[in-house]
Amino acid sequence: MSNPESGTSMDLLNPGPESVQTVETGSASKPEAVALPAPGPGSVTEALANFSSQPATEPVAKPETEPAIEASTQPESKPMIEQFSPGQLALIEKMVEAKVKEKVDSMSLSSAQHQEAKAMLATKEFALFAGTSHPDLARKIADELHIQLGDIEILKFDCGEQSVRIAESVRGKTLFMFQTCRKQHVYEDLDLLYKMSDAAINGDSGRRIAVVPYLGDMREDKSTDRGPISTRVVANNLEGNGYTCLITSLLHAPQIQGNYKMTVYNVIPYKLFADFVRNQLEGVDPKKIMVVATDAGGEKGAKVFAKELNMGIEKNVAIIIKERYAKNKSRIVGLLGDVTGKICYIIDDIFDTGGSVRNAAEYVMSHGAAEVHLIVTHFVASRNAMENLEAAKFKSILTTDTLPLDEEKPIKGLVRLSMAHLFADLMGKIAGIRSDKAPQKKQSNFTDGAGI
């Protein structure tokens, strides 16, 4: 048998001509040779038995020594798989996988069953490893992809240093390295992310893709007063440590992607928020709804969210005009838009100390808003954030799970929407186990800068 594509001969399956075993007997002056079939296991005994049962044509003198039996020239039988070279085995494995994939595609399965079957077939080609920052979200993404998290060992020394070891083979695989940036642990979490990539390089992996739901150091995207461009520092470290792609969520500013040479996927959750809010507003007059941006920089995001609501309120957007006079400190100087009697949804990307959203809530309420809700993607909640949140008296707070929630007390009105399926969908497309069709124009889960 030969492979028509590669021309590689596979005649190892067909043994060559039978070799002949010779048994010599008779006197030294007149030996008689009898040809017997080549032996398998135990065939020598059978050959001798057959020979002894044959009639003698003339007297045979007893040999001075035992009959000599020449060693067989046929190699000892081996299992079939050992008869192929490594190259032939790899080729056969690919042919079998292709046939299995073709069979799966032709089977009458549901969409979820197809995804699960393809994920099982693709586990040899990609893997997902999780750092220490947000194991819950990592497990949810793995469940969405129908895979197990990769085996990784992370050791933290008493002095604060970290060590990483990937405890399984990753040779040639596409690896997704998951790690978010928690408050007070941003640089620790980034350091672990860098080391995870270096460990994968030493394991001879294929592509290494960083999955960072909340990317730290996003707010310094330009140099001021001889300061650093922190977004560029992070980009250089990720690329310098071997990452070939970045998946993150709602960058603080779209131009941050310009710091990277590699592809950056910026997953946007506005459609996720809009689907939830639309259900909450069923039966409400759309004219009574107003989306409020916390500053001029958030105007575009507010308009996208208003459009995603699909309630005809694309123009119902108000903008808070404010000025910052110190880090994490600002004051409101005006409002563009009429919020009188409106149900206001204040939308922002990061909830850190909470000062901005508290000031915005109090300002729109003082201008006649009927009620105020808060929508934020990254719920950092540092320092006195909980005090500001309580003082703002939001009727509801909508956020995502890009960061772990470490508050001991339950937060009144807080709803967390998981982004696991958004990340899993994108990762599945990159890994080749989900459909890679062009995104519909009505959806905005991904930025224009890095389409699917």
Q: Which residues contact 118 (CB under 8 A, 6 or more apart)?
A: 101, 104, 433, 434
Taken as a whole, the chain contains a residue count of: 452
> What single-letter amino acid sits at 87?
G
Instruction: Give how far Cα 350 sits from Cα of 85, 294, 300, Å.
Output: 57, 11, 15
- Residues annotated as part of the active site: 322
Q: Are 404 and 375 spatial neighbours (Cβ–Cβ below 8 Å)?
A: no
